[in-house]
Amino acid sequence: MTARIDAHQHYWQLGRSDYAWMQPQHAAISRDFLPKDMAPLCAAAGVTGTMLIQADATDRETDFMLEIAAVTPSVLGVVGWIDFTAPDAVAQVERRAAQAPIRGLRPMLEFIPDSDWILQPAFAPVFRSMIATGLTFDALVHPHHLAALDSLLRRYPDLPVVIDHGAKPKIATWSKDPDALKTWRKDMERVAQHPQVLCKLSGLLTEAGENSRTAVLTAIQALLEVFGPSRLIWGSDWPVMTLAGGYQDWVDLCDRALAGLTADEMDAVYRDNACRFYRINA
């Protein structure tokens, strides 16, 4: 198999941004995480490049990531943040799109109480600008956001969208609430009908809680069946995923889950789909 690309990882430096989402339960990751920390993990796992994804809803977070990308060859691209609600939001899109490492934008929808927030008519010029400038949209959503995401995909069929972390299914509840699995899968099948949407195979360990690795394998299998290997993009969600396991643990689990694919399909999930979606070379 060819080298992997980790299409979803973060770096942060606590003095550089707010990271307001960090709570006491995140104590283990409430410290700086920088390229020197990830480099040995990537080397051991055969990861030759990464997509650096924003982890805070601030301009200075995007600037910080650009600074890292400028001196870190393993960072192949950046997904940044803009304020969709700002009067100059379109100008923000155009400015960020002109900064070559930036490949997409990600509002942090999971922390916005209104599930339909992204459907505001005022955001139409922002999405049109993203399409015109070639930027992608990372959908950081939970299962309850999928109806709104379906509507967004219908409105903007030319907008390339990737669902982060399989929409964060509530894997930890599945043993007691099997209907949650069925509902999540049904909703994912609905959004998968839109050809411009892909899905990231990432972040699932964190959603499993104390549930078994078997439940995570169930989730991966469902995503494979819903999206197929041509529309899945592999990533880790490091360092958030270290709350639930090691980097190599996730690699090994995915290798196990994808073992039935052909060599070309494995390459698609682990590298080629990310290159195509984010327009990167590896």
DSSP-derived letter for residue 262 is -
Residue-wise pLDDT tens digits, 90-99: 999 999 999 9
Q: Where are the domains of the chain?
A: 4-275
d(CA 64, CA 67): 5
> pLDDT at residue 7 above 70?
yes
Mean pLDDT lowest among 8-22, 38-52, 58-72, 186-200: 8-22
- The candidate with the shortest Cα–Cα distance to 77, out of 100, 101, 104, 106, is 101
pLDDT of 1 reads 57
Give, in words, the CATH class of 4-275.
Answer: alpha beta
- Please identify which residue in the block is written with the tokens 């989402």: 21
- Whole-structure pTM value: 0.96
Amino acid occupying residue 280: I
H or E element: which one contains 187? helix 178-192
**pLDDT band per the 50, 70, 90 thresholds, residue 211:** low
Contact between residue 86 and residue 77 where contact means Cβ atoms under 8 Å apart = no
pLDDT of 234 reads 98
Task: Name, in order, each residue with C-beta under 8 angstroms of 9's C-beta and a sequence gap of 6 or more.
Answer: 38, 50, 51, 52, 53, 235, 236, 237, 238, 239
Contact between residue 3 and residue 282 where contact means Cβ atoms under 8 Å apart = yes
Residue-wise pLDDT tens digits, 230-281: 999 999 999 999 999 999 999 999 999 999 999 999 999 999 999 999 999 8
Query: Three-state SS across 62-96?
Result: HHHHHHHHHHCCCEEEEEECCCCCCCCHHHHHHHH
pLDDT of 3 reads 87
d(CA 153, CA 147): 10
Task: Name, in order, each residue with C-beta under 8 angstroms of 51's C-beta and a sequence gap of 6 or more.
Answer: 5, 6, 7, 8, 9, 75, 76, 77, 78, 79, 103, 235, 274, 278, 280
- Helices vs. strands in the chain: H and E counts, helices first: 11, 8
DSSP-derived letter for residue 12 is B
